[in-house]
Amino acid sequence: MRSNQVAVVGAAETTELGVIPNASQLQLHADAALNAIADAGLKLSDIDGFATAVETPQQVCHYLGIKPTWVDGTSVGGCSFMLHVRHAAAAIEAGLCKTVLITHAESGKSMIGKAPRSIPADSLQGQFEAPFGVYGPPSMFPIPVLRFMKTYGITHEQLASVAVVQREWAAKNPRAMMKDPITVADVLNSRMIAYPFRLLQCCLVTDGGGALILTSADRAKDFPRRPVYIMGTGESVETPMVSQMETFNSSRAFKTAGPLAFKEAGIAHKDVDHLMIYDAFAHLPLFGLGDLGFMPHEETGKFIADGNTRPGGKLPLNTNGGGLSYMHSGMYGMYALQESVRQMRGIAPAQVANAKISVCHGVGGMFAASGTIVFTNER
C-alpha cells in the first residue's frame, strides 16, 4: 500500500471513561461514533464504510442508522482496530468507499449489554488449555514471561519499572484512571495475581470506547482537524493458544506486523518520535521493543528501567499511561490509536514536542494477533 494516501480526519473517545454504569456497550459505540463524527464535522449520512470488532457491523450500523457499502468485522482481539485502519486505508485507496467509521466500545467493568467470554469445551483451547486452570487473561498472558526473562536476563525490577514509568505519563493525563506516583517497591509489593505478575503489572478493567474516521488524503485537507496520515501498516495472527506460540522469546505476530509497517512507511527506528505498544501486561512493551527491532530483547528491560521511555526520555512510550494506568476496557487497541492521533495532532495531554512520526503497535488475544500502524502529520 502507498504511504500517506489516507488520513484520520475524525477521532474521539467516549464522553466518559472508567466506570460508566448508565450505558450499554452498544450505546458506548454510538457515543464514541457521534463524538468522532462531530470532531470531523461530518453527518452520519456521510459515512459509507464501517468497521468494528466483537459487536457485529450490522448491530452497530443499525443502531447508528448508517448505510454502508463497505464493512469489516475483523475481530482478532484488542488490535482489531489497527487491522481495521489497515483494511480501511486499502478500501479507500481501491475506491470501495470514501469515508470509513471505525468504532470500539466495551462495558468491560460494568458488563452492561456485553456477552461474557466463554471457551467451548470442544474448541482447541477448551480441550488443551482450559482444563489446566487458565481463567481469564491474567492467568494466560504472563505464561511466556518467565522463559523470556531467563533467556534475556530480564529482572523482576525491570518488569516492575514498566508500570512505574507509565504511571509518570498517566500523572500528566486528566482522563487517566490511575495518576498517583508509584515506585518499583510498590509494584513488587502489590497483590500477587499470577506469579511473576502482581496487580500493578496487570491492566485496568474499565468501560469506554473510541472511534476513528478515515478518508482520502486529498479530501482530508478540507476537514477542520489537522490530518493524520497513514504512513505504513502491518498485520498478522499466530495462534489462539498461548501454549502453542512458536517461542516464548518473541511474538511471531509482532515480528511480522511491525517490520511490515516500518517497511511500508520507509522509516528507520531513529525516525520514530512517539511509540505506543499495547500494554495489557508489563512484559508487552519489552516484547514490542525487541520484536519491532528497536533493540535486542536483552536490552529492553534496562532501556525502560533507565528511564528512556519516561517523560523527557529519548523514546516516549505509552504516553497516555497505557493499559496499566490510563484505561483498559478489554480491547485497548483503540485507545492506543487515539493517543497516537492526539500526538500527531499536537493536542495530547502529555504532548511530545515536534513529534512527526508515531508508531502504534497492538496485540490481540494472548499474542494471538498483531497490528501496527505508522502515523505521520506531514505529507
Q: Please enumerate in sequence order all residues whose Cβ is within 8 A of that of 375, keeping only pairs 6 or more positions apart, or say none.
A: 8, 228, 229, 230, 231, 340, 341, 344, 357, 358, 359, 360
d(CA 4, CA 6): 6
- Choose the stretch contacting another protein; rule: CB under 8 A; options: 30-38, 143-151, 158-166, 300-308: 143-151
Nearest CA to 50 out of 87, 94, 3 is that of: 87
List strands edge to edge, sheet with 100-107: 70-72, 49-52, 100-107, 207-216, 6-13, 228-237, 369-376, 357-364, 274-277
Among 7, 33, 145, 341, binds another protein (CB under 8 A): 145
User: Per-residue x/- marks for another protein, 234-273, CB under 8 A?
Assistant: -------xxxx---x-------------------------
Residue 174 touches another protein, criterion: CB under 8 A: no
How far apart are the two ends of the chain, measured CA to CA in Å?
15
Residue 192 touches another protein, criterion: CB under 8 A: yes
Residue 375 touches another protein, criterion: CB under 8 A: no
- Choose the stretch contacting another protein; rule: CB under 8 A; options: 51-59, 139-147, 212-220, 369-377: 139-147
Among 2, 62, 67, 147, binds another protein (CB under 8 A): 147
Residue 367 touches another protein, criterion: CB under 8 A: no
- Indicate the residue among 136 and 153 with the shorter CB distance to another protein: 136
Quickly tell me which residue has 459509507 as its cell: 48
Residue 116 touches another protein, criterion: CB under 8 A: no
Taking CA atoms, 311 is separated from 5, 273, 350, in Å, by 32, 13, 8
Backbone phi and psi for residue 10, each to the nearest 5 degrees, phi listed first: -145, 135
d(CA 228, CA 373): 12
Residue 70 touches another protein, criterion: CB under 8 A: no
- Indicate the residue among 126 and 296 with the shorter CB distance to another protein: 126
Residue 189 touches another protein, criterion: CB under 8 A: no
Among 112, 143, 188, 205, binds another protein (CB under 8 A): 143
- Choose the stretch contacting another protein; rule: CB under 8 A; options: 58-66, 68-76, 108-116, 141-149: 141-149
3-class state of residue 29 by DSSP: helix
Confirm if 160 and 187 have CB atoms less than 8 A apart: yes
- Indicate the residue among 86 and 198 with the shorter CB distance to another protein: 198
- Choose the stretch contacting another protein; rule: CB under 8 A; options: 104-112, 140-148, 205-213, 349-357: 140-148
CB of 180 to another protein, least distance (A): 23
Burial of 129: CB neighbours in 10 Å, binned 0-12, 13-18, 19+: buried
Residue 111 touches another protein, criterion: CB under 8 A: no
Among 96, 146, 178, 295, binds another protein (CB under 8 A): 146
d(CA 356, CA 358): 7
Residue 196 touches another protein, criterion: CB under 8 A: yes
**DSSP conformation class of 117:** P
Label the pairing between strands 207-216 and 6-13: antiparallel
Nearest CA to 283 out of 135, 155, 134 is that of: 155
CB of 140 to another protein, least distance (A): 8
The CA radius of gyration of the chain, in Å to the nearest whole number, is: 19
- Indicate the residue among 126 and 266 with the shorter CB distance to another protein: 126
Confirm if 211 and 355 have CB atoms less than 8 A apart: no
- Indicate the residue among 198 and 274 with the shorter CB distance to another protein: 198
CB of 109 to another protein, least distance (A): 15
Q: What is the binding site for another protein (CB under 8 A)?
A: 119-122, 124, 126-136, 138-140, 142-147, 150, 191-197, 241-244, 248
